Amino acid sequence: MTTDQKTAPARAKGETLLEIRNLQIEGQSDDVWHPIVRGVDLTLHRGEVLGLIGESGAGKSTIGLAAMGYARPGCRISSGSIVFDGIDLMKADLEIKRKLWGSRIAYVAQSAAAAFNPAHPILEQTIETGVREGMRNRAEAIADAKQLYGRLRLPDPDKIGYRYPHQVSGGQLQRAMTAMAMACRPDLIVFDEPTTALDVTTQVEVLAAIRDIVEQFHTAAIYITHDLAVVAQMADRIKVLRYGKEVEQAPTREMLTHPKEDYTKSLWAVRELENPPRAGKEIILSIDHVTASYGNSVTVLDDVTVKVPRGRTVAVVGESGSGKSTLARVITGLLPPSKGQVTFEGKPLPPALKQRTKDSLRRIQMIYQMADTAMNPRHRVSDLIGRPAELYLGLKGRAREKRVIELLNLIELDESFYDRLPAELSGGQKQRVCIARALAAEPDLIICDEVTSALDQIVQEGILKLLLRLQSELNVSYLFITHDIATVRAIADEIVVMYQGKVVQQGLKNEVLQPPHPAYTELLLSSVPEMDPDWLNNLLAKRAAKPISGIKRADA
């Protein structure tokens, strides 16, 4: 294979590049093979971008890997055919497939941080495949990589490659990974949720970079995501999957305007959940002029004042590093503030966890972003939920058992979950159990730290509805930390916008979401993808015409 082969005529759009027929993939657990993908057909033409969407467990990633002729350990492709540019990947030897991987079919993983080798500079990893396959010599490959960095709008493209993965931001690393995938000018790139782990403000830039480069080189791509608004910007065609089967497939615009299947319509409807804001009366928690820092060096919170009314939801929004989670640590007492005061129900809270009474611990509960790590994998649901009830309310034996089942019903799960371990729950169920654990303490305030951002949209909607219902039944207050504006629209009464440790804007939801905005709020709000396929184009055009001033972009 030479570079000449990859010049314009061979790359003309339209020719069929990848053909998958009746693909069946099985996964193994406990010696039993059960189906993951149940007969999916997929055709991809040169230069075309196909969006694969569906909730987790729909088999998106498995199909993406199968398009490379690869099955994860513990999975097997049991039947069907996968033909890539005339090569039958089902029958091809590993040796042939290895020649294809990296050079003609590339893969961009969800977490670039986990996919890069931390011990080598980015540039070395970018050029590795091309040099090894003998497509270019080292000097050419380096020059080419630098050019790619430039096209992907990475800052300082000549030097950034000499940095190590930990020395660049997440968004930059994701773009470097795209450059790596692009280095051999592959015919096909599989993008597996490349922007899911990024902030909205960073996501816009990565999306724009990926789309430009895919268009420039007429590369075919499979774009896997659970974010509909993102896929609307990227894909020519969208395929909706569920339980390993195709629900429907159509060109992007048609799919967005006229979805046929009920399931697709329900996916589309998720983003429309909204409730009117209610002004609060009694203030339950007030944070006054709090300044906090880690060690003696970096100030993470700078003179922050936030008030949470009883029975209401205050959403704290901002990108990563804005101090949202630190605020939660100050309230819970994990990080005593260096200045300022936290007042709860009119009484000042002791700054450190150890000085707080059991009762004040009970009244403020916390729900974490990653339900996986928030639950001890060796504890059963009954212990996870029962322990706070036992510790704070002294429930034992039958009474505790009854309370656990009561709480399970409250979070819309049944008694069969009583004895399960966390590993036996789905993502949404895990988060529900975490909610039940918080409720078991009968708290007045629950701090929700990005509780829905690891979940896909339908599950998110379920959790948000549950939280709203619980609030109206139990009159509990939420401090809702998030970077997702759609979530804020759905659940918040008041919004606090944070940027670099400071509160930028604060007020009732409708007030904050109405223009005019402070510069940062403007950037944040305009970066949220919309379901309009022209959204990204319009946004980029608008930003080029009138740059948002006053914001230092760490990730530009």
CB of 17 to another protein, least distance (A): 24
Q: Which CB atom, from 13 or from 72, has the smaller least distance to another protein?
A: 72
Residues 423, 442, 469: CA angle, nearest 5 degrees: 75
- Mask 1-40, x = binds another protein (CB under 8 A)? -----------------------------x---x---x--
Stretch that binds another protein, among 129-137, 140-148, 364-372, 460-468 (CB under 8 A): 364-372
Q: Which CB atom, from 254 or from 534, has the smaller least distance to another protein?
A: 254
Token pair 């212990």 in the structure block, residue: 383
CB of 394 to another protein, least distance (A): 14
Token pair 């150890």 in the structure block, residue: 354
Residue of the chain from 147, 305, 376, 537 that contacts another protein (CB under 8 A): 376
Site residues for another protein, window 197-236 (CB under 8 A)?
none
Rounded alpha-carbon distances, angstroms, from residue 11 to 49, 187, 229? 14, 8, 28
Q: Which CB atom, from 51 or from 333, has the smaller least distance to another protein?
A: 333
Residue of the chain from 73, 346, 397, 516 that contacts another protein (CB under 8 A): 73
Q: How many CA atoms lie within 13 A of 547 on its CB side?
A: 6
- Contact between 427 and 371 under an 8 Å Cβ cutoff? The reply is yes
Q: CA 435: distance to chain centroid? A: 20
Q: Which CB atom, from 223 or from 368, has the smaller least distance to another protein?
A: 368
CB of 375 to another protein, least distance (A): 6
CA distance 45 to 84: 11
Q: Which CB atom, from 374 or from 488, has the smaller least distance to another protein?
A: 374
Residue of the chain from 361, 468, 508, 548 that contacts another protein (CB under 8 A): 361
Residue (of 297, 292, 298, 295) closest to 332 by Cα position: 292
Give yes or no for residue 98 binding another protein (CB under 8 A): no
- Contact between 478 and 467 under an 8 Å Cβ cutoff? The reply is yes
Residue of the chain from 15, 215, 415, 424 that contacts another protein (CB under 8 A): 424
Q: How many CA atoms lie within 13 A of 237 on its CB side?
A: 16
Q: Is 86 left (phi over 0), alpha (psi -120 to 50) or beta?
A: left
Q: Which CB atom, from 146 or from 242, has the smaller least distance to another protein?
A: 242
CB of 152 to another protein, least distance (A): 34
Number of residues that bind another protein (CB under 8 A): 45
Q: Which CB atom, from 46 or from 271, has the smaller least distance to another protein?
A: 271
Site residues for another protein, window 504-543 (CB under 8 A)?
none
Structure tokens at 507: 């007020």
Q: Which CB atom, from 200 or from 366, has the smaller least distance to another protein?
A: 366
CB of 265 to another protein, least distance (A): 9
CA distance 150 to 169: 16
Give yes or no for residue 355 binding another protein (CB under 8 A): no
User: Which burial class, exposed, middle or buried, applies to 497 when counting CB atoms under 10 A from its CB (0-12, 13-18, 19+)?
Assistant: buried
CB of 144 to another protein, least distance (A): 35
Q: Are strands 32-45 and 16-29 parallel, antiparallel or unpaired?
A: antiparallel
Q: Which CB atom, from 106 or from 436, has the smaller least distance to another protein?
A: 436
Stretch that binds another protein, among 130-138, 326-334, 479-487, 538-546 (CB under 8 A): 326-334
Cβ atoms within 10 Å, residue 336: 15
Which residues lie closer than 8 Å to 85 by C-beta, 6 or more apart?
17, 18, 104, 187
H or E element that contains 17: strand 16-29
CA distance 188 to 52: 15
Structure tokens at 301: 């919170």
Residue (of 553, 504, 527, 496) closest to 328 by Cα position: 496
Q: Which CB atom, from 185 or from 329, has the smaller least distance to another protein?
A: 329
CB of 448 to another protein, least distance (A): 13
Q: Which CB atom, from 375 or from 498, has the smaller least distance to another protein?
A: 375
CB of 495 to another protein, least distance (A): 25
Span between the terminal Cα atoms of the chain, in Å: 36
Residue of the chain from 441, 464, 479, 523 that contacts another protein (CB under 8 A): 441
Stretch that binds another protein, among 189-197, 418-426, 478-486, 519-527 (CB under 8 A): 418-426
- Mask 245-284, x = binds another protein (CB under 8 A)? xxxx-----------xxxx--x------------------
> Which amino acid is located at 452 in the chain?
T
CA distance 400 to 442: 14
Q: Strands of 85-198 (E only): list them.
A: 87-88, 105-108, 188-192
Structure tokens at 518: 């402070």
Stretch that binds another protein, among 9-17, 174-182, 362-370, 469-477 (CB under 8 A): 362-370
Give yes or no for residue 295 binding another protein (CB under 8 A): no
Q: Are strands 87-88 and 75-84 parallel, antiparallel or unpaired?
A: antiparallel
- Contact between 211 and 180 under an 8 Å Cβ cutoff? The reply is no
CB of 285 to another protein, least distance (A): 15
Q: Which of the 8 DSSP states describes residue 353?
A: G
Residue of the chain from 84, 368, 478, 499 that contacts another protein (CB under 8 A): 368
Using DSSP, state whether 176 is helix, strand or coil. helix
Q: Which CB atom, from 414 or from 473, has the smaller least distance to another protein?
A: 414
Give yes or no for residue 427 binding another protein (CB under 8 A): no
Residue of the chain from 334, 519, 554, 556 that contacts another protein (CB under 8 A): 334
What is the contact surface with another protein in residues (CB under 8 A)?
A: 30, 34, 38, 57, 73-74, 242-248, 260-263, 266, 332-334, 353, 356, 358, 361, 365-366, 368, 370, 373-379, 387-388, 391, 419-421, 424-425, 441
